[in-house]
Structure 1
Amino acid sequence: MRHHRSGEQSVANGSSGSPVEQPAPGRRATLLTRKRPPVAKASMNTSTSSQPSVSSSCQSRRSGSPVFWGATSEAPLYAGPLGEAVGVVPAGAVLLEASRYRDVFGGWWISTRCDDGTLGWIAYSQATEAPAADDAAAASSWCRVYDTRATPAAASDSEDTLSLRAALPNTEMSWRCVLPAISCAEVSRTAAAHFLFRDAELYAHYWAAVHPREKTARDWNFEYQRAVEQCWLAAGVFRSDASISATTLPARPEAVPHVPLDTLIAAFRSEAERTVVQIWKEAITPPPCRQVAAHPRFPDQVYFHGGMLLRRCVDTPDGVLGGDEMAMKCGRAIYRNLEILAHVAPRHALHVPLHAYCTFGGFSFLCSAIPPYGTANLVAADRSTVVAMEGNGAVSAGTSMAPPPRSGFVSDLLQGLGRALRFQGGDVPLEWRVYAGCDRRLYLSQAHRLLPPVLPPHRADLCVSVSSLPTKPLDRQAGTSAASCLYASLLCDCVRPEVFFTWPRPWLPNECVCTPERLAKRASDAHACKSEALASQSCAVGAWIKSEGITRVAGTLGFQFPVVAPLLSVESCTICGGEIDANELRFVVCTNPLQCCHICMHCYTRLVFEHPGREGACADPLDQCCPAAVRCGAGCRKAGSFLLVPTLTDLLHANGLSLRYLPYVLHRLPQTTRSAVEHWCHVELVARTAKHLLQRDLRTATTSVEARSVCAAFFTALLQPAGATSDRFWRTRLGPALQSRFAGVCEPFRLSVQSLRLVAERVASLAGVTFSESCLSSLALLSASANSAASHHGTDCETGASRRDAGSPMNATATDTGGAFIEIEQIAPQTRVFPAPRMAPPSLSPETTSDVGAEGKSETIASVRGLVERLLLFWVGYTPEGANDAQQPFYLDESFLHSSLWRLG
């Protein structure tokens, strides 16, 4: 249902809005709240600027160069790019353009200023759904009726500025941009040029040269692989007969005592965190005095300690990845893909070493155990990628990495893994390789790319607002520079695992990574490229996210749809005593770390929308609280700091959306409930951006005292509700960073002062900072004092400015009130480590066999026996140099096979 806004009356009558009013140079930009019933207005808000201020010269050109658009037919008016329709523009209406914006999918949006001061948006095109000439129908609803931009007032603009501002939005999008391609050789050159992708070389160096000399170093890889196999044994994968107990099995060679998998993973996490902290402490220590040894070729990027390989996710701005931020994204993507493979690959006798991803002191590290193989143990690889890497000098002189002819057994293993991962035809990414380990295990390597990309690729040069042109070149992104940046973008901007495993059709593993023959065909045959794009599942996912995916999350957050994912438990509401069903949102109202007191969304909406207002002031719905709902004896939260369950991040991820789409979810929130739920989107946007800025600041700290000082100064500026320091921070740092990190944030928004505690808790959880409870409690006092000041001075409910100072350029700069009370108890590493894999019987078929009845049991036994027989035959024909029988899988031990597995037959 489309809703009219009070500010759209002039649109309905066909009149144009007033010219765009730019803020004065020294004024803190604010977002004017949409006109809603008084119950939905906030009485005191802290405004944030998500756009850099526009210069005065630009203001004069903009005011002297208006552009008008006429509706040739009835068209909807949207709350934002890819947002909810909030009104209808009748045919013949004329709108004044305020700004232009191109979303991540290539569609153009034009904004106009409504009577209530907010921006309304019209969709000029849907370029990705109907590229090139096919989008004429989509653009026919609007035509430019008046344009004076090419006047002497705008003559001083550069050619680039004129091309962006004066030209019609270019709705054409080449099929080669929708479905980009990179050659295998370029992929290999990228892998050879950056240490994050050089698995085999680093493993070989440390296993052969360093690991044998470290007598005290643990063999994490052997312990992990053996612990996983013990889980198989306990799950009955190799013992389908319940009469065979673990005590009757023959003794297996044990190099170390058996360690339960969960205990081992916890120990690996602890060791990784301790080592990362030590590396941070030794940043200014001379190399000879350091405890953590650095790689001779990568002295500040690659480390070895305690049997663990650690790679710092960094890159220079002119490096192969384009900077530290993209390197950190690549590190997270590599870890996530390997985590998925650690669950699936062992069922197909293919192994992945234990990994962790640890962030501390502003840097992220990819930590891994060291598997026992070298570059000479390559048994399966795509020949074109190997030749390209050799030509790049990635291997030492005189050493050939060319693989021997691939055995049928290894091909079957990869094909089975590909089918289990739902790849078409059982194919796998071309970069993947298989190495034979000295422990008689087959290891996957170069498995950095797994999840398919979302197409068309997200390009930073498309997601710009023409009203404020960038003053410096945009970061290198997909399609704008080197092929290595395209590969990194395809690696990071991919579908969520929740979509990958539930999508109804199989995927192409090499949709954008092509052989030379396929690349040449795409370049010469535009029709073939168009056909591939139309059939692409990655393009279909992009269209699904744009429509249904964003709508599903926005509808769930806006109380319109039930919670389908993630799974929730049934709780009791502490206000009405009713039952909160598993498909309903719930809200934590207490400050107890156990988050034990919940209220239902019906009680929450009554609390927010039916609050009493004070005479002469606008009541803030987020200032409400309900102490009677807290049954545990802890403190009571205000409505603006209620914890949403599930969290917004969990809600997005469980429904297949990445956080990059959060601004579009915000635009698509239902207007009827937007004022009650939008602050959670604002908090998440601010928190994610603040974490990034805090990590950047922490990189300058070299001691724990400096780190605490950096955090204290940062959070003081972030959490202070008013004052020059806070104003400067939000206007010059947080606002521009938020706009650059989140495509879709097209105008400033206002963050309620009642959500300061929620912001503090969210940033702290993302950055590994622990605040004292007195620090968090003091934020409620800050919000209360801000409310009192607003009431005393008669603050306007829409602008947040004093009536006395309305219109003054100094009204955003308040007197410092002493700032927030910041007390930091701890700064700890943030670590993700492989969870214990869910065990299932290994099988060469994509379906796992069910152990139901005698027939199912027989099929399972036959599958296990066939796999083990082929493994034995493979290792009889291929024995790697330096093989260690004591570390081989226990199911390859001859006595175990005779007394256990064969007995099952």
Structure 2
Amino acid sequence: MRRHRSGEQSVANGSSGSPVEQPAPGRRTTLLTRKRPPVAKASMNTSTSSQPCAPSSCQLRRSGSPVFWGATSEAPLYAGPLGEAIGVVPAGAVLLEASRYRDVFGGWWISTQCDDGTLGWIAYSHATVAPAADDAAAASSWCRVYDTRATPAAASDSEETLSSRAALPNTVMSWRCVLPAISCAEVSRTAAAHFLFCDAELYAHYWSAVHPREKTARDWNFEYQRAVEQCWLAAGVFCTDASISATNPPARPEAVPHVQLDTLIAAFRSEAERTVVQIWKEATTPPPCRQVAAHPRFPDQVYFHGGILLRRCVDTPDGALGGDEMAMKCGRAIYRNLEIIAHVAPGHALHVPLHAYCTFGGFSFLCSAIPPYDTANLVPGDRSTVVAMEDSGAVFAGTSLAPPPRSGFVSDLLQGLGRALRFQGGDVPLEWRVYAGRDRRLYLSQAHRLLPPVLPPHRTDLSVSVSSLPSKPLDRLVGTSAASCLYASLLCDCVRPELFFTWPRPWLPNECVCTPERLAKRASDAHACRSEALASQSCAVGAWIKSEGITRVAGTLGFQFPVAAPLLSVESCTMCSGEIDANELRFGVCTNPLQCCHICMHCYTRLVFEHPGREGACADRLDQFCPAAARCGAGCRKAGSFLLVPTLTDLLHANGLSLRYLAYVLHRLPQTTRGAVEHWCHVELVARTAKHLLQQDLRTATTPVEARSVCAAFFTSLLQPAGVTSDRFWRTRLGPALQSRFAGVCESFRLSVPSLRLVAERVASLAGVTLSESCLSSLALLSASSNSAASHHGTDCETGASRRKVGSPMIATATDTGGAFIEIEHIAPQTRVFPAPRLAPPSLSPETTSDAGAEGKSETIASVRGLVERLLLFWVGYAQEGANDAQQPFYLDESFLHSSLWRLG
């Protein structure tokens, strides 16, 4: 490898991709020609460039005796766990077990090696609970016919030894594992032990002790709340058009409040990013010399600067959440939940401070404005939670151990919010709290948990081979998890918001967080626990994802189903000039940043399936390209680097699936079109894993020069199509990380060389790294090495210019290894911040959507008037010290009440 002063780094030349290896193989596997397996496998057309790579024999060979399984009846053969049926195993056939795998829903799968080296999978059992009649039916298709491990137990045998001899997979899963539970006291201890959940205590500390001393710090919370209220006022939430015209201030266009809010959000985002970068720069600076002040109790985790509270998403030294990776997931989940609540809560007179989630230098930060309240301003209180915090010794100074009784008005507000969020009976999560602010606003706190979990709980350590069976049953594995880790898992492994709001039935907000009485009932009454699990919407969602959800996304990606979501526009195909309907996939073929040239899926399938068969065509179907389709004048992409529209991430999310199911979507792709579309799944799997590894590497960098060097070295290892460095990187880093992060990745696969540009673009986009266009275009040279004349003469299809004309001193040096190089323009933070709320409150209940006309308008006015009247009475009766009337909401102003609401009477 040749490293240049300019920050570029050469990429080794090669013509074959690097397979994702298991962590243990002793040699690199090679691509084998696909043959017909001993069982009846369905015929299919596959791409030779993206062909799965045969695992080496040492990966599949058991250290002990072989295990054979006999088919008692005709059974299907699958492409992978939860995958597409690709053939039929006749009754009486005997298969040699290669490995075992347990999917995230509890079903057992057994693989067998085919003649071509690939793995075929049989479904041993789909059961997640037992005993039941369905379990016996599911397991009756296969029986063990030979296994010498089934020997009598010796007196000295340990439990681990007995488990390793188990010939039959353990399909028993208790109902308490299907529907786990954590007590309110354990939730409180988790919140008190980790700074990510200490909202009220941190807000109180900084508002009273630090914020007043910073005269230059902006009051982001007040500006945000006032701007949001102005948007809701302009949308007619608090009054009708007549009442708006009757107010004292002159009426302004509706766009003005939103422009102000957008400007404020952009400024908050910029300030948060600047502070995060400053924290990164001061990592090695002594604390007295730092510009960003740290919290005295959490010196390396919590910061305050410019009126913004920043919490680094890392775990505590004792691993309360299960590691830094889980802490980052918790921070991302907290932000997502608060973003949803921020859209709905203002319509119910409840408020959330402005938040942002920023990632830079390998660390993520949860950033928020500071609301003006103290821990003593708790309005609704739960005595059991406070007692639990007191018993754990985690009560902060100023925390009221005797909270006031729950206010009926605040309970009604929470119930209305719960109904708007589609919670059954208007209930809300038990740990939610409401605090009275000094600006006469009611603030939600501890609102970290919102979206229900997908049940049964997902576990990434269920993929096991024959030689390493689990030493303990699943029940005990789940039972030994710490309460805080279980809470973190329930917080992160939840349903998508798209599925949450479109699910046909309301949700139970506290299925897994229980009161002590309910927890004791579940532990003592197995029948009651079973009844709750069968009626659980979270369990129903898990069953839906396992069957229809994965099938819907795989069918859409495989050209079998129309695109139902997300919404697309109608446009013209730049190759055939035909119309691309709104329910069809389309593919970006140009290198223009605007992505303006798209072709339809019919032209795409003809390009990748018909051209390789013609004489003189490229052997790799993904190496095809269509220059005439790039009408904008920019370069033309090769088929392997076409941009999928919508993106695979958008396709999964819009259909209610998280990316954790991507490997199962890959297994369930239709075999007829798999060779043309599977590389997008491979690219996304690799890119998501590579982003995680790059973030780990960036944590060691302390200067911009070091960060660029780390990124250049990482991209060089990732994008090499062949070589010792590439082999070591994929075998020791990327392969194991990919299998640990994505459940269902059970077999190595080969990335197509033409897809390397797409990998580079996707990793750079996820990591906030900007690669130069010349760097991305140079990756096309890697796949052109098989044609030396074309690689050194003629025109580059992705740049549209002569290669000799494009040359520069840096690129000329890099051509010694094929012409590809890495050039990083800059590295920027990746930030998500609250968007502007909707113009109108969401109508999520049938009662609100059925109202129309004058009757509905009058009912809305009456409800708003009643809400404002109760707010006035609440604040009249709530004596608060240090209240600031100048910052109170506009609807509590006396002039507004007289001129607007009361005039309507």
Find the aligned partners of 1:811 and 1:590 in 2 and give their Cα distance. 23
- CA gap of 1:717–1:794, structure 2 versus 1, over 3 A, is farther
Q: Deviations over 1:264-299 (max 9, x none)?
A: 101110000000000000000011110100000000
Find the aligned partners of 2:14 and 2:405 in 1 and give their Cα distance. 73
Find the aligned partners of 1:619 and 1:203 in 2 and give their Cα distance. 62
- CA gap of 1:803–1:664, structure 2 versus 1, over 3 A, is farther
Find the aligned partners of 1:841 and 1:853 in 2 and give their Cα distance. 17
- CA gap of 1:475–1:615, structure 2 versus 1, over 3 A, is farther
Deviation at 1:19, TM superposition (A): 22
Q: Deviations over 1:528-571 (max 9, x none)?
A: 11111011000000000000000000000000000000000111
Find the aligned partners of 1:131 and 1:634 in 2 and give their Cα distance. 62
Q: Secondary structure at the match of 1:6?
A: coil
2:50 matched to which residue of 1? Answer: 50
Compare 434-443 and 876-885 and name the one that shifted more. Answer: 876-885
- CA gap of 1:439–1:838, structure 2 versus 1, over 3 A, is same
Deviation at 1:705, TM superposition (A): 0.2
- CA gap of 1:127–1:40, structure 2 versus 1, over 3 A, is closer
2:103 matched to which residue of 1? Answer: 103
Contact 2:164 2:468 in 1 (8 A): no
Compare 162-171 and 741-750 and name the one that shifted more. Answer: 162-171
Contact 1:25 1:53 in 2 (8 A): no
Find the aligned partners of 1:6 and 1:246 in 2 and give their Cα distance. 64
Find the aligned partners of 2:556 and 2:99 in 1 and give their Cα distance. 30
- CA gap of 1:723–1:845, structure 2 versus 1, over 3 A, is closer
Find the aligned partners of 2:703 and 2:219 in 1 and give their Cα distance. 31
Find the aligned partners of 1:812 and 1:135 in 2 and give their Cα distance. 65
Deviation at 1:650, TM superposition (A): 0.3
Contact 1:42 1:618 in 2 (8 A): no
Contact 1:590 1:635 in 2 (8 A): yes
- Taking structure 2 as the reference length, what is the TM-score of the superposition? 0.89
- CA gap of 1:723–1:30, structure 2 versus 1, over 3 A, is same
Q: Deviations over 1:477-533 (max 9, x none)?
A: 854421110000000000001111111111111000111100100000011111110
Contact 2:29 2:54 in 1 (8 A): no
Deviation at 1:396, TM superposition (A): 3.6
Find the aligned partners of 1:903 and 1:882 in 2 and give their Cα distance. 32
- CA gap of 1:63–1:19, structure 2 versus 1, over 3 A, is farther
Deviation at 1:672, TM superposition (A): 0.2
Deviation at 1:841, TM superposition (A): 5.2
Contact 2:612 2:618 in 1 (8 A): no
Find the aligned partners of 2:829 and 2:856 in 1 and give their Cα distance. 46
- CA gap of 1:316–1:869, structure 2 versus 1, over 3 A, is closer
Q: Secondary structure at the match of 1:145?
A: strand
Deviation at 1:232, TM superposition (A): 1.2
- Taking structure 1 as the reference length, what is the TM-score of the superposition? 0.89
Q: Deviations over 1:816-867 (max 9, x none)?
A: 9468400000100000000111143599988436784322221121111011
Deviation at 1:904, TM superposition (A): 2.0
Contact 2:53 2:748 in 1 (8 A): no
Deviation at 1:368, TM superposition (A): 0.2
Q: Secondary structure at the match of 1:715?
A: helix
Identity of aligned residues (%): 93
Compare 237-246 and 623-632 and name the one that shifted more. Answer: 237-246
- CA gap of 1:582–1:48, structure 2 versus 1, over 3 A, is closer
Deviation at 1:245, TM superposition (A): 3.1
Contact 2:231 2:257 in 1 (8 A): no
Contact 2:795 2:801 in 1 (8 A): yes
Find the aligned partners of 2:263 and 2:584 in 1 and give their Cα distance. 35
Q: How does 1:586-735 map to 2 (within 5 A)?
A: 586-613=586-613, 619-735=619-735
Find the aligned partners of 2:812 and 2:128 in 1 and give their Cα distance. 41
- CA gap of 1:426–1:687, structure 2 versus 1, over 3 A, is same
1:311 matched to which residue of 2? Answer: 311
Deviation at 1:621, TM superposition (A): 0.6
Find the aligned partners of 2:789 and 2:877 in 1 and give their Cα distance. 82
Find the aligned partners of 2:827 and 2:545 in 1 and give their Cα distance. 36
Deviation at 1:624, TM superposition (A): 0.2
Q: Deviations over 1:9-39 (max 9, x none)?
A: 9999999999999999542235657559999
Q: Deviations over 1:576-610 (max 9, x none)?
A: 10000000000000000000000000000000000
Contact 1:476 1:485 in 2 (8 A): no
Compare 132-141 and 44-53 and name the one that shifted more. Answer: 44-53
Contact 1:253 1:886 in 2 (8 A): no
Deviation at 1:331, TM superposition (A): 0.1
Compare 541-550 and 33-42 and name the one that shifted more. Answer: 33-42
Find the aligned partners of 2:766 and 2:231 in 1 and give their Cα distance. 32
Deviation at 1:167, TM superposition (A): 2.5
Contact 1:30 1:749 in 2 (8 A): no
Deviation at 1:387, TM superposition (A): 1.7
Compare 379-388 and 790-799 and name the one that shifted more. Answer: 790-799
Find the aligned partners of 1:13 and 1:289 in 2 and give their Cα distance. 47
Q: Deviations over 1:846-898 (max 9, x none)?
A: 84367843222211211110110000000000032110000000110001110
- CA gap of 1:54–1:613, structure 2 versus 1, over 3 A, is closer
Compare 876-885 and 610-619 and name the one that shifted more. Answer: 610-619
Aligned residues: CA RMSD: 8.8
Q: Deviations over 1:727-784 (max 9, x none)?
A: 1111110001000111100010111011000000000000000000000000000121
Find the aligned partners of 2:411 and 2:636 in 1 and give their Cα distance. 60
Contact 2:17 2:750 in 1 (8 A): no
Deviation at 1:151, TM superposition (A): 8.5
Contact 1:44 1:787 in 2 (8 A): no
Deviation at 1:205, TM superposition (A): 0.1
- CA gap of 1:471–1:517, structure 2 versus 1, over 3 A, is closer
Contact 1:42 1:622 in 2 (8 A): no
Q: Secondary structure at the match of 1:832?
A: strand
Structure 1 unaligned regions, length at least 5: none
Contact 1:149 1:166 in 2 (8 A): yes
- CA gap of 1:536–1:9, structure 2 versus 1, over 3 A, is farther
- CA gap of 1:578–1:801, structure 2 versus 1, over 3 A, is closer
Q: Secondary structure at the match of 2:692?
A: helix
Deviation at 1:615, TM superposition (A): 6.9
Q: Deviations over 1:151-198 (max 9, x none)?
A: 999999996476246421011010010000111110100000000000
Structure 2 unaligned regions, length at least 5: none
Find the aligned partners of 2:350 and 2:396 in 1 and give their Cα distance. 27
Q: Secondary structure at the match of 2:811?
A: coil
Compare 46-55 and 780-789 and name the one that shifted more. Answer: 46-55
- CA gap of 1:832–1:17, structure 2 versus 1, over 3 A, is closer
Q: Secondary structure at the match of 2:400?
A: coil
Deviation at 1:900, TM superposition (A): 1.4
Find the aligned partners of 1:80 and 1:798 in 2 and give their Cα distance. 35
- CA gap of 1:16–1:155, structure 2 versus 1, over 3 A, is farther
Contact 1:249 1:899 in 2 (8 A): no
Deviation at 1:251, TM superposition (A): 12
Contact 1:48 1:751 in 2 (8 A): no
- CA gap of 1:810–1:150, structure 2 versus 1, over 3 A, is farther
Contact 1:6 1:116 in 2 (8 A): no
- CA gap of 1:893–1:55, structure 2 versus 1, over 3 A, is closer
Compare 23-32 and 377-386 and name the one that shifted more. Answer: 23-32
2:126 matched to which residue of 1? Answer: 126
- CA gap of 1:22–1:446, structure 2 versus 1, over 3 A, is closer
Contact 1:50 1:747 in 2 (8 A): no
- CA gap of 1:880–1:453, structure 2 versus 1, over 3 A, is same
Matched, 1:149 2:149: yes
- CA gap of 1:14–1:895, structure 2 versus 1, over 3 A, is closer
Q: Secondary structure at the match of 1:847?
A: helix
Find the aligned partners of 2:23 and 2:31 in 1 and give their Cα distance. 11
Contact 2:8 2:822 in 1 (8 A): no
Contact 1:70 1:95 in 2 (8 A): yes
Q: Secondary structure at the match of 1:259?
A: helix
Deviation at 1:252, TM superposition (A): 14
Contact 2:103 2:463 in 1 (8 A): yes
Compare 878-887 and 25-34 and name the one that shifted more. Answer: 25-34
Q: Secondary structure at the match of 1:501?
A: helix
Compare 831-840 and 468-477 and name the one that shifted more. Answer: 468-477
Find the aligned partners of 1:159 and 1:805 in 2 and give their Cα distance. 70
Deviation at 1:117, TM superposition (A): 1.9
1:344 matched to which residue of 2? Answer: 344
